[in-house]
Amino acid sequence: MKKHFAVAIDGPSGAGKSTLAKRAAQRFGFVYVDTGAIYRTVGLFVFQEGIDPGDKEAVKECLSKIKLQLCYDERGQRMILNGEDVSERIREPQISMYASAVSAHGCVRDFLLDMQRKLAEDYDVVMDGRDIGTVVLPNASLKVFLTATSEDRARRRYEQLCEKGIGCTFEETLRDLKQRDENDSRRSLAPLKAADDAIVLDTTGDTESESFDKLEKLILERLKK
Ligand code: DC
């Protein structure tokens, strides 16, 4: 069986992972997999059920009621939760917090692991998340850890939310981002961290094109090998 090419992009929220990963997938004809969207979909379900996302047993119980599907159309990756397209709803700031909280539970991570690995078995992928290089695809062809200062990341996230018409202030965005960094890095299971063999790209102060050029160069080098 041919081993597919896989680019693993990890890093904290707002580092530019999804923008760069999407562009790289387009440029090289790979499938873009946004794993944060998958965790967000579980977070949304837990929110809709009125469950405390920190209550491991309650979250575990509700997983059996979730049917997750990932599909692609001209808008990109879409998340289908029990038959309903929830791709827009999962972007709300409140759901970010639920996603971060539920992602700390081993039952949730196990529930989603096969789905992510299967995509990389079937296609060449650019997959972004928090643990792609460390846990999901430890044999990825290229691992990149994207980072930037929290202020820079909050500014980008704030601009994205404003563009989508989601009301919030810069201060709230920065506070939420720091809180999520803390949750995602401190958890005991698959915490946010660079894999030992990841290349760290700091995008602070870069334009999107500057960061993309760096990523493109790394992928081209790896494809030649
Ligand atoms: O990338 P994002 O902000 O959409 O991710 C939402 C949350 O999901 C994030 O706070 C942590 C969690 N997550 C994770 O634990 N592992 C991943 N591979 C992707 C996201």
Best residue for ligand 1 mutational test, from 44, 94, 103, 105 (most atoms within 8 Å of Cβ): 103
Question: Quick check: CB of 187 below 6 Å from ligand 1?
Answer: no
Nearest CA to ligand 1 atom 4: 36
Express each pLDDT in 195-224 by its tens digit: 999 999 999 999 999 999 999 999 999 999
On whether the CB atoms of residues 20 and 26 are closer than 8 A, the answer is: no
Distance 180 CA to ligand 1 centre (A): 9
Question: Quick check: CB of 131 below 6 Å from ligand 1?
Answer: yes
CATH of 6-223, one of 3.90.470.10, 3.20.20.70, 3.40.50.1360, 3.40.50.300: 3.40.50.300
Nearest CA to ligand 1 atom 15: 103
Res. 58: pLDDT tops 70: yes
Which residues 6+ apart lie within 8 Å of 58 measured at CB? 51, 52
Question: Quick check: CB of 87 below 6 Å from ligand 1?
Answer: no
Q: Considering only CA atoms, which of 20, 43, 181, 12 is closest in space to residue 112?
A: 43
Res. 2: pLDDT tops 80: no
- Hey, where are the domains in the chain? 6-223
pLDDT at 160: 87
pLDDT band at residue 56 using 50, 70 and 90 as cut-offs? very high
Question: Quick check: CB of 116 below 6 Å from ligand 1?
Answer: no
Whole-structure pTM over 0.85, yes or no? yes
Nearest CA to ligand 1 atom 5: 36
Question: Quick check: CB of 10 below 6 Å from ligand 1?
Answer: no
Res. 78: pLDDT tops 80: yes
Distance 128 CA to ligand 1 centre (A): 9
Q: Which atom of ligand 1 is nearest to the CA of 39?
A: 8
Res. 1: pLDDT tops 60: no
CA dihedral 176, 181, 182, 184 (to 10 degrees): 120
pLDDT at 3: 84
